[in-house]
């Protein structure tokens, strides 16, 4: 396990995430994310975009794809209602030799290594958790670990993006965090052609007739405000194909 020493304290780092999933690039959105991360001058700072949309529209996948365009390691932190401030920064764990190890979160690991951190479903966190990230989201670009007793500064190449779902099971963002997570990039359901291309990328073995049928269903669901996403479409297609295969074997 890789480690670094900061102010005399050994910090063990998290592993980067590798998403082994077929990707249909929605280039317009990816370019918006990349523009946020661009630095125009040595005194300039990257922005921290907020990707907003319904569950299943591909927010995390698109953020991951943008990071990979920069050839950076990606670290994904899954936020929940139970996320504590220390979960976002450094967590103490007991090692095999009964000693305390300080383990960096995916966010802090990305800060140290100059990678990209993605906080997934970030609006499931409470205000108490957000407060620990406030210095990271402005010109200070650092976090403090009370547990380890150290301050960690972000690498110049560090980039951050957060994704947020539009549903009832989320918290309102504190105003001081709201102003730090800019711009907001809204990710809507894909068009008919995009949706079919995404399905084809994920279900290359499906015939055109099935793909068209699923896309027509999804487009109708979007029109009437039903919460069926392209992710649901992929799973519907997978189930139908598995059921057909199983029935043929029987």
Res. 181 pLDDT band, cuts 50 70 90: very high
CA nearest to 53, candidates 124, 121, 126: 121
Domain boundaries, the chain: 3-186, 192-249
pLDDT in tens, 192-221: 998 899 899 889 999 999 999 999 999 999
Q: Which pLDDT band holds residue 6 (cuts at 50, 70, 90)? A: very high
SS3 165: strand
Q: How far apart are the first and last CA of the chain?
A: 48
Contact 179, 173 (CB under 8 A): no
Nearest by Cα to 133 from 119, 112, 121, 114: 119
Residue 63 half-sphere exposure toward CB, CA atoms < 13 A: 30
- Identify each DSSP E strand in 24-107 by its residue range: 50-53, 74-78, 90-94, 100-104
What would the DSSP string read from start to end of 87-156?
HHSEEEEE-TTS-EEEEE-HHHHHHHHT-EEEEETGGGS-HHHHHTTGGGGSTT-EEEETTTTEEEEPPT
Cis peptide before 183 (omega within 30 of 0): yes
Q: Where are the alpha helices (DSSP H) in 150-229?
A: 175-178, 192-202, 208-223
For 53-96, the pLDDT digits (tens) are 988 888 999 999 999 999 999 999 999 999 999 999 999 998 88
Question: CB neighbours (10 Å) of residue 197?
Answer: 17
Max CA pair span of the chain:
67
Asked if 50 and 57 touch (Cβ cutoff 8 Å), the reply is: no
Running DSSP on this structure, what letter comes out for residue 191? P
247 pLDDT band, cuts 50/70/90, is: confident
Q: Which CATH number fits domain 3-186: 3.40.1110.10, 3.40.50.300, 3.40.1190.20, 2.60.40.1250?
A: 3.40.50.300
Contacts of 169 (CB under 8 A, 6+ apart): 124
Look at residue 141 and tell me whether its pLDDT is greater than 90.
Answer: yes
With the CA atoms of 245, 246, 249 and 250 taken in that order, what torsion angle do they form, in degrees rounded to the nearest 10? -150
According to DSSP, residue 190 is labeled: P
Mean pLDDT of the chain: 92
pTM summary value:
0.88
Question: Which residue from 140, 47, 124 is spatially nearest to 87, judged by alpha carbons?
Answer: 124
Dihedrals φ, ψ of 163, to 5°? -115, 145
Sheet of strand 90-94: strand arrangement: 3-6, 9-12, 100-104, 90-94
Confidence of residue 169 (pLDDT cuts 50, 70, 90): low
């Amino acid at each position: 396990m890789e480690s670094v020493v900061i102010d005399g304290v050994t910090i063990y780092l998290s592993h980067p995430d590798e998403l082994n999933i077929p990707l249909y690039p929605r280039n317009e959105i990816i370019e918006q994310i990349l523009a946020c991360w661009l630095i125009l001058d040595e005194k300039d700072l990257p922005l921290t975009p907020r990707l907003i949309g319904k569950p299943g529209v591909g927010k995390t996948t698109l953020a991951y794809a943008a990071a990979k365009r920069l050839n950076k390691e990606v670290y994904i932190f899954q936020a929940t209602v139970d996320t504590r401030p220390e979960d976002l920064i450094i967590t103490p764990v007991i090692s095999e030799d009964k000693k305390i190890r300080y383990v960096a979160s995916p966010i802090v690991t990305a800060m140290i290594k100059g990678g990209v951190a993605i906080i997934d479903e970030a609006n499931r966190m409470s205000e108490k958790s957000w407060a620990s990230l406030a210095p990271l989201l402005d010109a200070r670009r650092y976090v403090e670990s009370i547990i380890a007793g150290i301050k960690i500064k972000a690498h110049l190449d560090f980039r951050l993006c957060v994704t947020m779902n539009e549903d009832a099971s989320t918290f309102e963002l504190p105003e001081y965090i709201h102003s730090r997570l800019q711009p907001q990039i809204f990710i809507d359901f894909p068009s008919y052609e995009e949706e079919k291309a995404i399905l084809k990328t994920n279900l290359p073995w499906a015939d055109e007739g099935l793909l068209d049928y699923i896309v027509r269903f999804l487009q109708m669901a979007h029109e009437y405000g039903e919460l069926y996403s392209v992710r649901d479409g992929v799973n519907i297609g997978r189930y139908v194909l598995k059921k057909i295969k199983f029935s043929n074997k029987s």
